[in-house]
Amino acid sequence: MSERARQLKRERALFCYISALERGDMDAVAAILRDAASDAVLERMILEYHAAAPAEHIAQDAISPFGPDQPAFSHLPPVSANGSVRKELDPVTVYTPTADKTFAAFPTDAKRHSLPLTLWAAVFALAVCGGLLLYAAGRLSTSPAPDTAAPVGLLQADETPEPPTPEPETGPPVISAANVQQLTLLNTITQEFLLGPLAWSPDGQLMAAGAYNGILLYDTASFAVPRLLSVEAQSLIKLLFSPDSSLLAVLDDTPIVQLYEASTGQRALELKGHDNRVVDAAFSPDGALVATTSIDKTVRLWDAASGREVRRLEFQTTPAYSVAFSPDGTTVAAGSGEIRLWDAASGRQIAVFTPSGMIVPVISKLVFSSDGATIAAAHGPDIRLWDVASGRELLKIEDPQAAGMLNDIALSQDGTLIAAARGTVVQLWDARSGALLRTLEGTDRQIRAVAFSPDGAALAFGVGGTRSSVIWLWGVAAGQGNV
């Protein structure tokens, strides 16, 4: 090794020595002192550092071989790597190693200070023993050394490899346009005398299904024997849970909306005030408000805690058959032959979206995308999509071979897929291109409701009206994903 390379190695060792002192790593200090015992120039460089070091470093008793009464190396002035005093010091005084391995200052009238080799050995032994005790107690840090660690061969600290990062737990794949061909029938639930309305609780733990004798609440973990929720209802047309899953709103083709506690089945309150039957309802995302729309041509906002009417929004000519809140809760949308948007806080009308072509005076369902950027509508037999910000109609999906109205629509979690209940089938449409991707067969009876699960991994729809009513659950088998 050339002299230049040896000097670079010494400078790096000194830098690591200082860093080890600052972070209190006595094992590293001892290792460098061990190397310095066989390298006189490195030993002098360390002495030079301590001679010029700040007081807080000199005062560290743990690095002083002289004990608490005599700071380490403070008696020696700075020297250069070649053993001579720097230019700013007295050039007559030169520090050189003596035969007994001590450092002496000349001329002889200067006070002689020595650093016996036995003290160096004691420091090293104490550091090693202390390190072993700390390791035995499990107290030494196993974190990787910082960038200032010594190069390999000079100061190599023990490193404990980090444990492998566990693979994140993944649930069933989310249904989207990308994996619609991998949909398989996961479960078939047979129940007597279902009426058709379905609703998932937002926490995903319950599914509510309307029946002749009340509401059936299924535990979605098993879909075993459901719990019966007895309600005073004439003809159930819609069910919906509050955002926290604690309340279940029941629409039964009357002017009154009833709210029940999902856990106990007790009726919490009633929303009274409409002059004609209520046909749709929606909770605000924070659960504070309930919006209802009625044949009486009004949309009303209610306080969900007290049942008090907060605001009334008027439709001039035709009734509104559908209502929805935007995901951020700031906008209320309602549809008749057109879609009107209001500011939820003030009741100010924001926009009106008018469908292109033939106007059918019924928009039976409104659904906002999860980001609130688009709104989908079941407009008679067609599906329409609008850009909320501009009011531009983005897409019109028509099925020329289909007859009759759409019964229900649902939008996938990522907004790429529209599920539409039409007659006895469920059609799956690409929300970007309008292409029909797949048709799921039911039975020979009308499918009244279709709904995606809150996590987007399952699609439920069902038929009712007879003793052999059925709910189908579809999803993508684990491991298939998007292909």
pTM attached to this predicted model = 0.64
Determine the pLDDT at residue 93. Answer: 34
Determine the pLDDT at residue 359. Answer: 63
Give CA–CA dist 85/70, Å, rounded. Answer: 23
End of a domain among 121, 137, 153? 137
Q: What CATH number has the domain bearing residue 291?
A: 2.130.10.10
Structural domain boundaries, residue 60: 3-137
Q: Are residues 208 and 266 in the same domain?
A: yes
Q: Are residues 98 and 236 in the same domain?
A: no
Q: Are residues 77 and 222 in the same domain?
A: no
Determine the pLDDT at residue 100. Answer: 41
**225 within a domain of the structure (yes/no):** yes
Q: Are residues 354 and 426 in the same domain?
A: yes
- The CA-based diameter of the chain, rounded to the nearest angstrom, is 118
Q: Are residues 124 and 195 in the same domain?
A: no
Give CA–CA dist 422/403, Å, rounded. Answer: 9
End of a domain among 80, 110, 137? 137
254: tokens are 């009357």
Q: Give the tens place of pLDDT for each residue, 208-229.
A: 998 887 899 999 998 888 898 8
**155 within a domain of the structure (yes/no):** no
**455 within a domain of the structure (yes/no):** yes
The tally of domains found in the chain comes to: 2
Judge contact between 89 and 78, C-beta under 8 A: yes
Q: Are residues 74 and 185 in the same domain?
A: no
Q: Are residues 241 and 344 in the same domain?
A: yes
Q: Are residues 102 and 217 in the same domain?
A: no
Determine the pLDDT at residue 18. Answer: 80
Q: Are residues 133 and 190 in the same domain?
A: no
Determine the pLDDT at residue 257. Answer: 96
Give CA–CA dist 246/445, Å, rounded. Answer: 32
**151 within a domain of the structure (yes/no):** no
Determine the pLDDT at residue 10. Answer: 80
Determine the pLDDT at residue 481. Answer: 54
Give CA–CA dist 37/120, Å, rounded. Answer: 8
End of a domain among 86, 118, 137? 137
**143 within a domain of the structure (yes/no):** no
**146 within a domain of the structure (yes/no):** no
Q: Are residues 217 and 74 in the same domain?
A: no
Q: Give the tens place of pLDDT for each residue, 41-66.
A: 877 787 777 766 544 444 343 344 33
Q: Are residues 196 and 133 in the same domain?
A: no
Q: Are residues 435 and 295 in the same domain?
A: yes
Determine the pLDDT at residue 78. Answer: 42
**100 within a domain of the structure (yes/no):** yes
Q: Which residues of the chain register pLDDT less than 50?
A: 54-125, 127-129, 132-157, 482-483
Give CA–CA dist 191/228, Å, rounded. Answer: 12
**483 within a domain of the structure (yes/no):** no
Determine the pLDDT at residue 25. Answer: 80
